A and B are shown apart, each in its own frame.
Chain A
Amino acid sequence: MTAPEPAARRPAAPVRVAREGLTLAWRSILKIRHSPDQLLDLSLMPITFVVLFTFLFGNAVSGDWHAYLQFVLPGVAVQALVFASMNTAIGFNSDLRSGVFDRLRSLPISRAAPLIGRVLGDVVRNVVSLAMVFAVGAVLGFRAHAGLLAILAACGLILAFSLSMCWMAALAGLLARSPESMGGFVFITVVPLTFGSNVFVPTEKLPGWLQAWVKINPVSRLSEAARALMTRMPVGGSVRDSLLWTAAILAVFAPLAIMVYRRKA
């Protein structure tokens, strides 16, 4: 059997996987560029969240929505990205059914590349969403009193966590029978994570039984870290805990998603 005309000299496997993943992430970005309605999708939720929670809970929780905005915005950013992980789940689930995926799987590329590409592309979308949250927050009067580095660190923490959530969502997308059945994923993970946290209400004001969960909830820890970093408050162990959670979720769900995907594909 003579070898087929080689497309190019093949680099080492990890380099190839990374390149293939990046090429597919580029595909996601091109898609956003071509359909501005996706951009609208991406920004609508963050805008709604910021406006809704600031004015809905602001006066009730803090007595003053301006003060509340300072408190709630970093958490809303976290919440928006956790919700955005649903996009990964739904998008990946419908990807799996599409002809495009069949084509990708018939190419001599890494089996994991489409999955990695999806997740990387979604991280880019998350950057847009995050920027949107802070832009709207700034318009309403949110002021970060920290230096640029601290703000970037907070954004980095949130994005890293959203990356780990993307893998969890990708697994959900793989296991669900259809995009419509993704509602379960939202109720089992996204809702308890975001609402069962101190994003909206300080932990002390919550009932005791809920406090136990809220205190260990990664979204709480991450919100505390982001809040502390952006408003120059002591971070305590929140940054460390956020990173630990991120690493743990990534370590469990990324290999699991790749394994399930390989078995399925």
Chain B
Amino acid sequence: MSARAATVGVMNSTTYAIRAEGLVKRYGSTTALDGVDLAVRQGTVFGLLGPNGAGKTTVVRVLATLLRPDGGTAHVGGFDVARRPEKVRELIGLTGQFSAVDEDLTGHENLMIVARLLGLSRPDARGRVRELLTRFGLAEAARRTVKTYSGGMRRRLDLAASLIGRPRMLFLDEPTTGLDPRARGDVWDLVRDMVAGGTSVLLTTQYLEEADRLADEVVVIDHGRVVATGTPDGLKAKVGGQTLDVRPADRTAAGAVAAIVAEAAGTAPVRDGADGVVSVPVEAGRSGTEVLTAVARRLDAEGIAVNELGLRLAGLDETFLSLTGTPPVAPVPAGRGGEDDRKSR
């Protein structure tokens, strides 16, 4: 029995690049993480999706050994992050939410410092740095200070820096936030390359599109809790692809409407305080029209007048909304590049 348990333990640590169970992190009276579980399979991209302040960065910081959890355990590459942080650090690469490159130094110098810190000899460090600068399209800008780089170039340099030690696990905290669409596409390509090379990637994002494009598996967190787990397609399927909207004529009836909708749809609806619309995703396997009919009948029976009642196809945004109760952040539209945001910081 115990021998079998041990085998399972070994199997888990090899099958999963990252495994976290019941992670808790508190800051004073606020609970940033309230029991987060996740498991990242070796050689896959894992998307940690959630609105601002959901606890995504805290998860990354715990897994990257920058923060000690107050509860729960996390293993990276089979090593406990709290007990063997030095072992974990040998396996990981981190690109944080805020640029971790030195503005006053050149791209080449930034990478050289990391390479030297990792113990590479000067010639080895030069070789590795040159290789990465070329691969990330920064060879020409290598001798310029990072100050002169665009947002996309900085991100690429940041990524390059986290790859110098050939990490087996890569943490990317909002790797494309503030980037224009083209730069975002570049980062996506680079992430795909790394995974093709066998690296496991955990990335956090507020963009559903990004998770959908890159991630093999997704965990949606909100207020420090996991609210959904699955593949991006599964998540979309889970919420059926259809949404039922009801707008009561009298806003004070919204509560009663929500109760009816909840009963008919079998899921808790989302109420938009601004325009009084009660929306609910229609679960997969249920017929949208059946739910609609049931809601209409009940509304009629209870004499609640509505201005609007209808079914529509849910986008990814609704999926997100129904899972977290927070609208997702729209990606930066083309033309208004995020580079200005970065420079102003």
In angstroms, how far is the closest chain B Cβ from the Cβ of A166?
20
> Is A60 at the interface (CB under 8 A from chain B)?
no
Give a binary string over A23-48; 1 marks a CB under 8 Å from any B CB, 0 the rest. Answer: 11011001100110000000000000
User: Does more than half of chain A's interface fall in helix, strand or loop, or is it mixed?
Assistant: helix
Q: Given A1-B77, A8-B124, A30-B105, check contact A100 B100 (CB 8 Å).
A: yes
Q: Which residue of A lies closest to B146 (CB)?
A: A34
In angstroms, how far is the closest chain B Cβ from the Cβ of A90?
16
Give a binary string over B282-318; 1 marks a CB under 8 Å from any A CB, 0 the rest. Answer: 0000000000000000000000000000000000000
Q: Which of A84-114 contact B (CB under 8 A)?
A: 98-100, 102-109, 113
Within 8 Å by CB of B119, from A10, A35, A105, lies A10
In angstroms, how far is the closest chain B Cβ from the Cβ of A134?
27
In angstroms, how far is the closest chain A Cβ from the Cβ of B166?
5
How far is it, in angstroms, between the C-alpha of A109 and the C-alpha of B65 when the chains are bound?
13
How far is it, in angstroms, between the C-alpha of A4 and the C-alpha of B165 when the chains are bound?
9
Q: Which of B137-175 contact A (CB under 8 A)?
A: 145, 161-162, 165-168
Q: Which residue of A lies closest to B116 (CB)?
A: A23
Q: Which residues of B contact A1 (CB under 8 A)?
A: 13-14, 77-79
- Report, as a range, how many residues of chain A touch the other chain: 20 to 34
Within 8 Å by CB of B113, from A26, A35, A105, A106, lies A26
Q: Which of B98-124 contact A (CB under 8 A)?
A: 98-102, 104-106, 109, 113-114, 116-121, 124
> Is A20 at the interface (CB under 8 A from chain B)?
yes
Within 8 Å by CB of A102, from B79, B94, B109, B165, lies B94
In angstroms, how far is the closest chain B Cβ from the Cβ of A113?
7
In angstroms, how far is the closest chain B Cβ from the Cβ of A44?
18
**Are A107 and B96 neighbours in the complex by a CB distance under 8 Å?**
no
How far is it, in angstroms, between the C-alpha of A102 and the C-alpha of B109 when the chains are bound?
18
In angstroms, how far is the closest chain B Cβ from the Cβ of A210?
43
Q: Given A8-B121, A99-B96, A106-B92, check contact A23 B166 (CB 8 Å).
A: no
Q: Which residue of B lies closest to A11 (CB)?
A: B119
Within 8 Å by CB of A34, from B66, B106, B117, lies B106
Give a binary string over A103-132; 1 marks a CB under 8 Å from any B CB, 0 the rest. Answer: 111111100010000000000000000000
**Are A5 and B166 neighbours in the complex by a CB distance under 8 Å?**
yes
Within 8 Å by CB of A106, from B14, B94, B98, lies B94
> Is A139 at the interface (CB under 8 A from chain B)?
no
In angstroms, how far is the closest chain A Cβ from the Cβ of B142?
14
Q: Given A31-B102, A102-B96, check contact A8 B119 (CB 8 Å).
A: yes
> Is B193 at the interface (CB under 8 A from chain A)?
no
> Is A188 at the interface (CB under 8 A from chain B)?
no
Give a binary string over B70-102; 1 marks a CB under 8 Å from any A CB, 0 the rest. Answer: 000000011100000010011111101111111
> Is A149 at the interface (CB under 8 A from chain B)?
no
> Is B64 at the interface (CB under 8 A from chain A)?
yes
**Are A105 and B105 neighbours in the complex by a CB distance under 8 Å?**
no
How far is it, in angstroms, between the C-alpha of A100 and the C-alpha of B101 when the chains are bound?
6
Give the 3 A-B CB pairs with smallest separation, nearest first.
A99-B100, A103-B100, A99-B98
Q: A102-B66, A105-B66 are in contact. List 18 more A-B contacts (CB 8 A).
A: A7-B119, A8-B119, A10-B119, A16-B119, A20-B117, A23-B113, A24-B113, A27-B102, A30-B109, A31-B105, A98-B100, A99-B96, A99-B98, A99-B99, A103-B162, A105-B65, A106-B64, A106-B65
